[in-house]
Structure 1
């Protein structure tokens, strides 16, 4: 079932837009100095101060309109779970509907015009630790479901707004949120400056190792918490979650998933992955690099279950598949439905496969990606496939004090700068952002405005729940 049409501008690109995805301008490769000069020239055409302007939504569109749009096509039985998780706080609401902010951003009368691959859902909880193929723990963006080519500052705007909302959510207050924005943007601009002196290959090979971040952490309290996260990360793999997720069949020796409804269950007839598993994974295998295909062939699928994940993804089709080798060593893959962006009608290049769109964006922006990252289709739905859990580490916001929160903001700024430099052009971005505190003040102003809008939207959402227009699941799904 296709989603209802949502009114969008006629186009995303404008006459002053510049494509940074190819590192060329008017058909010519840019030197570093030319890139900086181009960014400065763009700043004169589109002053940074204009980026603080918040859009007005079309009169017939509300947050509930976009919520209904985002719910189209989701599994009916899971919609109350999504609503419950989004209802917890303004921050979970913000996390749960990235399409709402993308919709607002596309209606903004002014953007930088500097287009490149962006995350599209760049809030502070979408950063964390993940494994490199060499089994080192890296830090960076770890969710790319909304990745697209768009103005680079859209990522900055979503991130700065998340710091203000989250700071209030964990009772640190607005001032700490604004200070975190300053720390994040300072780190972002500083790291862009460092990228300018590197060659393209050096930027490509650069990685933000979690141990490096630890070395930079001077506060001992914060450092101790991070050390604990880093030290346990290597144990977060398929084997570590077998006892919780599976049990062994005494007759066959194979393991299978333990049902835990409404969050984990085996597919019934007509549900996703109730049939066609072999065909799905044959297609998936073809999207892997050759050496990973050979590695994948050493495993066989022994069980599949549908699994509820995240906040914004609840209701989309998501499953996990258990693979075992001949000696019963496990590999657990996650299949996550990949849907078109709300802005996909405006894309200059249409995605052939939504899973491919996510994979390509992730590979472009991450320093290193999961060796089993790939995509496939089932029952006319597109899926992203990756390992479940593999050394993924997230930071617990609830346990942060102001020192930890601001230090985390610093790390996010560093990681986002590297992602943007790898996927785009650090020289042009640095030239556009300029010197001084202008961009900090501009984005702090934007964050405060959007935080207020998000609160209004959240209250509208909660009123709809109170009026029983939106059904909620129980606390057991949190």
Structure 2
């Protein structure tokens, strides 16, 4: 299918933009002091107060235009499920269409000019626990479908806006939402400053351990909630999923997935993985590090099923694969279709494989990545990882104001590490500074962006009311 064209700026990168991923400026490695000075100098050409300004969308382009664009190529019978999940609240709408904010950010009149690898969909529900190769529970960003090289503050803007929208969603005050933004930004700057004192290797070895966050929680009520959350995450392993997703053949002892349409089903003849699955995993194996290929060789594919996941991913091709070793010990992998970013036409370098884009962004920004993180393709391009291996996100509805604000602090901490690992903490801190100016700027942005999101959500809901967008029933939530 030919991709619908969306009006985009001529370029994002300009002559005064700086690539923070190279750690060089004008051909020379940046010293810490030089990086700090460079960031401060960037304020003159890219004033921080201008970051508060929202974009003006091109003529005849609105949220529905981007929604239609984002639905291209998705499976038709799953589009009503996506619409239903997005319709639940203004926050699920915000989560369900990251392309809309990326599009708006591309048209913003000003950005920092400081480019690095960013998450691209940095909202608070995309933070959570995940397993390190050593089986420790880490905290950080755990979704990189939209990762790209772009101005570093785009992550801050999306995260700040998500706290304002989420506060409204769970019945907290506007003041509580704005306070969360301030806490998150101050945490981000505090921990980014700490990273400026470390060597590159020390930054690389740093990790945000979930148990450390628990120990730093002084409130007993919050400690109990976080301890419960930690315990739940550690139990989310392949073995815990088996009774829910599979059943065992009494004769052969082999397991297979249980069909539960419309959310889980075995692929039909015209769907991915109905054939060529072995070839897919052969190519996937080649994307793994050498020692992990040898580990992967101990397993054999026994079943594949299509599975609906998330909110924004619904309708793209997502599947799970069951592998077993010779003693029936299981491994479950998830394959998610990796689609081009709405900003792909603006990329300086052409992306050869969208799955590889996701994997490389995740490896660069996460403290430690899934040992089975890889990529492959059939007709579509996919990235692959273990299914729910200690991966967990917080339940917003379980949050009171105190928990909400502590979570904002944790997200700021984790984002600082991701940005320091992927970019240059000295330059970013030189640009942001230590005063309240940047906090007030991004609070203003978050308020304006949340108001725009609410308007877009209402437009979306009007289309549903007018039966122009089909929605599934409550059973898909």
Is TM > 0.5 for Structure 1 vs Structure 2?
yes
Residue 302 of structure 2 corresponds to 302
Whether the 8 Å contact between 2:189 and 2:434 is mirrored in structure 1 is: no
Residue 406 of structure 2 corresponds to 407
The farther-off stretch of 407-416 and 244-253 is 244-253
**CA deviation profile, 1:225-277 (whole Å, cap 9, x unmatched):** 11112123222111111001000011221100001110000001111111001
Residue 391 of structure 2 corresponds to 392
**CA deviation profile, 1:140-186 (whole Å, cap 9, x unmatched):** 00000000000000000000000000000000121110000010000
Residue 350 of structure 2 corresponds to 350
CA distance in 1, matches of 2:232, 2:472: 33
Residue 435 of structure 1 corresponds to 434
Secondary structure of the residue aligned to 1:303 is strand
Matches within 5 A, 1:143-162: 143-162=143-162
**CA deviation profile, 1:175-227 (whole Å, cap 9, x unmatched):** 11000001000000001110011000000000000011011111111111111
Secondary structure of the residue aligned to 1:36 is helix
Residue 17 of structure 2 corresponds to 17
Whether the 8 Å contact between 2:184 and 2:412 is mirrored in structure 1 is: yes
Matches within 5 A, 1:325-336: 325-336=325-336
Per the normalisation by structure 2, the TM-score is 0.99
The farther-off stretch of 298-307 and 248-257 is 248-257
Alpha-carbon offset, residue 56 of structure 1: 0.4
CA distance in 1, matches of 2:136, 2:432: 33
Residue 362 of structure 1 corresponds to 362
Matches within 5 A, 1:169-318: 169-318=169-318
> Is 1:474 aligned to residue 439 of structure 2?
no
Whether the 8 Å contact between 1:2 and 1:73 is mirrored in structure 2 is: no
CA distance in 2, matches of 1:51, 1:87: 29
Matches within 5 A, 1:87-166: 87-166=87-166
> Is 1:2 aligned to residue 18 of structure 2?
no
CA distance in 2, matches of 1:476, 1:87: 14
> Is 1:458 aligned to residue 454 of structure 2?
no
Whether the 8 Å contact between 1:204 and 1:367 is mirrored in structure 2 is: yes
**Aligned residues: CA RMSD:** 0.6
CA distance in 1, matches of 2:437, 2:329: 55
Structure 2: runs of 5 or more not aligned: none
Alpha-carbon offset, residue 3 of structure 1: 1.6
Secondary structure of the residue aligned to 2:250 is coil
Whether the 8 Å contact between 1:131 and 1:392 is mirrored in structure 2 is: yes
Per the normalisation by structure 1, the TM-score is 0.99
Alpha-carbon offset, residue 386 of structure 1: 0.2
Alpha-carbon offset, residue 137 of structure 1: 0.3
The farther-off stretch of 77-86 and 229-238 is 229-238
CA distance in 1, matches of 2:250, 2:301: 18
Alignment coverage as a number of residue pairs: 477
CA distance in 1, matches of 2:38, 2:250: 67
Whether the 8 Å contact between 1:52 and 1:445 is mirrored in structure 2 is: yes
CA distance in 2, matches of 1:322, 1:283: 17
Alpha-carbon offset, residue 47 of structure 1: 1.3
Alpha-carbon offset, residue 46 of structure 1: 1.3
CA distance in 1, matches of 2:445, 2:292: 44
Secondary structure of the residue aligned to 2:232 is helix
Whether the 8 Å contact between 2:300 and 2:325 is mirrored in structure 1 is: yes
- Runs of at least 4 residues off by over 4 Å: none
Structure 1: runs of 5 or more not aligned: none
CA distance in 1, matches of 2:19, 2:243: 49
**CA deviation profile, 1:40-88 (whole Å, cap 9, x unmatched):** 0001221110000110000110100000000000000000000000000
Residue 80 of structure 1 corresponds to 80
